[in-house]
Structure formats: structure tokens, C-alpha cells
Amino acid sequence: MRVAVIGAGAIGGLIAAWLGTHLPPERVCVSVLARGATLHALQTHGLRLQDAAGVTTVVPLTGVVSDDPAALGPQDVVIVAVKAPSLVTVMPQVQRWLHAHTLVLVAMNGVPWWFFQAMPAREAGRCAGLRLRSVDPDGRLAAALPLSHVVGCVVHISSSAPAPGVIRHGMGRGMILGLPGGGITPALQDVAALLNQAGMTVSLSERIQRDIWFKLWGNMTMNPVSALTGATCDRLLDDALVREFCSAVMREAQTMGTHFGCAITQNPDERHALTRQLGAFKTSMLQDLEAGRVLEIDALIGAVREIGHHLGEPTPFIDALLGLTRLMARSRGLYPA
């Protein structure tokens, strides 16, 4: 199976490393599209995987490592592991690798552009067919990648990239895959089997939008509030006022989810208790802020606000969180003016 990874950072690099480590070349051919310092590191030193003790293993990649999409050729599976703001620039490259049966795993945080596009109308309700302008303002993502190629992907893995081409696994191996329109196909099962053999714990979902919404329910507060404050998640939850603000945001999102088949049975305090078990960790948005990378604001907060306004649901706490986070990011040049 020919697999291409675009976005060889903390998650994409880890998936590429596990595929290269655990599967023989006759089972999988892993290629990576990279640029800049990451490309130089991969071509010079190879993909390096660090364990908890700091021991580094150089992972063999049997495919092509290049910044030229044409060099990779057609692929059976494409893993897109870039931040949401970069999707519009990488999709034309992904297009070049598609054949009739290529599956594209979009491993991103937040609400994807296709969220309502294939959801059955009986579940989507008033959101049936809704195009989310906050994440795909001019429809370029929808035009570039037909839904027949898309696989929704929820990642429950903590990983970091302390240096270009160096991946350090933190915790977790979970991944949930599902098709935008539901159902489970033999091709999807084949991809899940491949990733399971590579050391991940993959489950398949009949309605991946529910899994996306549930993960978002926690991410949409912890990520931006940690970026606003510079605090790790344990400190956010230790502050009663901050914790209650996060809960208020979550309650607004929880209410709107009932309108399109994504009801959440937990309450915010139960979710906070799970987050607290992770200890003093930095969210991905805080790490991006510290590294000077563009922040994933629209997919995590903007899309939720857009959905709420479409439904006529009041979102005062979501609005406040979006406004504060967006202004903070703009003042640092990490969000478009």
C-alpha cells in the first residue's frame, strides 16, 4: 500500500514513523511531502523517533521524501496532518496523488469543512448541507477534494516535535476513522488494519461527526484559554472562575449539538475531571503560540459560532472566547487581519 504523509510534524511524523517501524517494505511504502527545515532534516538525518527515555531511532522511509508533489506519484492513502489554516494550500498537492480509490485521512482538530455535507438530513436537521464559511470561505476545499475520497479522523495521541524531523511520542495511540456519509467499507477496514498493525489503536465509527464534536467539546476551551493565559490545563482547571467560563462555553456547544445528532451526555465537570487526569500539559494551541505558528481558531471556535448562529442559538460565551483569542492572535501576527 502506498501511503503519503503531508505535514510531518508531531502527529503526521509519528504516524509515518510507526508505519516505517512496524511494517515491512512489502506491506507499505511511506512517502513524505515536506519543506524547509523539516525536509532538510529528513533528507540529512532521516525521520527520528524518540522514546520516553530520550533514546532516538532512525526510521527507514521506503518511499520518497521531497518538496515536489509530482515526485511522489499516485497514492492509495494520504494522511493530511497539517493545521486547518494550511489545508487550502496543501489540497492542490493532494489532488495530484489521487486515483479512483485513494482515501484521504484528514487528521485535524476542530470542525472540518465537510461536517454537514454528507450527514443524513434526518440527523442534520436545519444544518443539512450547511457549508461552513468559517473554515472554507470560498468553497475551495470542497471543490478540491470530493467527499468520496475523504475519511474523517479523530486523533487521541499526544506527541511533539522538539526539532525538525524529530518526533517524541507522549501518550495515547487512539484513532477513530469514519466516512462523512457513514457506513463502513472494505477499503476503510483495510486502512484501519494497516494502522493497527503499525501500533495504533484504531476504531471505526458509523457517524464520525459525533466523535469529532465530542473531542471538539473539550478542545474548543482548553486550547484557546491556554493560549490566552499561557497556563497549562491543570492550572486552568484549578481556577474556579476560568473553569466556570470554560463550562459555560461547553454548555452552549452542547446545546447546539442536540440539533444535529451530536448530543453529549457528559456534563462539563465530568469532562474537566478527565482532562485533569492528563496533568500539567500544554495544549497544541499554546505550543503553536510559543513557536510563532498560525493558530487554529476558525476550526475550533469560529465554526461552532457559525453553527450556533445558523441555528439561532445564543452564543455569548463562545463569542467572547472567539473575540479574545482572535484579537490576541492578530496582535502577534498569528491570524489574518
**CA 234/CA 278 separation, integer angstroms:** 8
pLDDT at 66 over 80: yes
pLDDT-derived band at 310, boundaries 50, 70, 90: very high
Domain holding 103, by residue range, is 2-206
Task: Give the pLDDT score at 51.
Answer: 83
Kindly state whether residues 177 and 266 are assigned to the same domain. Answer: no
- C-alpha 263/C-alpha 260 separation (Å) is 8
Q: Identify any residues that bridge with 154 across adjacent strands, giving them in sequence order.
A: 176
Beta bridge partners of residue 201, listed in sequence order = 174
pLDDT at 148: 96
177 and 64, same structural domain?
A: yes
Within 10 angstroms of residue 169's Cβ, the number of other Cβ atoms is 19
Hey, how many other C-beta atoms are within 10 angstroms of the C-beta on 42? 22
Q: How far apart are CA 262 and CA 119, in angstroms?
A: 11
Number of domains forming the structure of the chain: 2
* 73 Rama sector, left if φ>0, alpha if ψ -120 to 50, beta otherwise: left
On whether residue 110 sits in a domain, the answer given is yes
Confidence of residue 60 (pLDDT cuts 50, 70, 90): confident
What mean pLDDT is predicted for residues 57-73?
94
- Mean pLDDT of the 238-251 span: 99
149 with 218, same domain? no
Check which CATH number belongs to the domain holding 258 and give it.
Answer: 1.10.1040.10
- Average pLDDT on 199-220 reads 97
Does residue 335 sit within a domain? no
Residue 142 within any structural domain of the chain: yes
Q: Is 90 exceeded by the pLDDT of residue 55?
A: no
* Residue 282 is among the residues annotated as catalytic for this protein: no
Whether 336 is covered by a domain: the verdict is no
Mean of all residue pLDDT scores within the chain: 96
Kindly state whether residues 240 and 197 are assigned to the same domain.
no
Report pLDDT for 170. 87
DSSP category for residue 293: P
- In this prediction, residues 237-256 reach a mean pLDDT of 99
295 DSSP assignment: P
Q: Can you tell me the distance from the alpha carbon of 49 to that of 55, in angstroms, rounded to the nearest whole number?
A: 8
Q: Which of 22, 149, 156, 215 is catalytic?
A: 215
Residues 10 and 93 in one domain: yes
Question: What does the pLDDT average to over 199-228?
Answer: 97
Among 155-164, 189-198, 235-244, the least confident range:
155-164
Whether residue 174 is found in the same domain as residue 232? no
| Tens digit of each residue's pLDDT (9 = 90 or more) over 127-159 | 999 999 999 999 999 999 999 999 999 999 989
Domain boundary among 191, 206, 221: 206
Q: Do 28 and 103 lie in a common domain?
A: yes
d(CA 239, CA 16): 39
197 within a domain of the structure (yes/no): yes
Backbone angles phi, psi at 309, to 5 degrees: -70, -35
Question: Which of these ranges, 51-65, 229-243, 246-260, has the smallest mean pLDDT?
Answer: 51-65
Residue 312 is classified by DSSP as T
Query: Is pLDDT of 41 > 90?
Result: yes
> Are 214 and 181 contained in the same domain?
no
Decide if 333 is inside a domain: no
| Average pLDDT value for residue range 258-284 | 95
Lowest pLDDT segment from 98-107, 216-225, 278-287: 278-287
State mean pLDDT over 111-120.
97
Instruction: Please report the pLDDT score of residue 19 as a whole number.
Output: 97
Q: Do 188 and 236 share a domain, yes or no? A: no
Retrieve residue 249's grid coordinates: 462555553
Residues 32 and 169 in one domain: yes
8/126 same-domain check: yes
Q: How confident is the model at residue 285 (pLDDT cuts 50, 70, 90)?
A: very high
Residue 215 lies in a domain: yes
Q: Looking at residue 297, what is its pLDDT? A: 98
Residue where a domain terminates, one of 206, 221, 242: 206
CATH of the domain at 160: 3.40.50.720
What integer pLDDT is reported at residue 205 of this predicted model? 98
- Write down which residue in 206, 227, 260 finishes a domain: 206
Task: Indicate if 104 and 145 belong to the same structural domain.
Answer: yes
Confirm whether 247 is domain-assigned.
Answer: yes
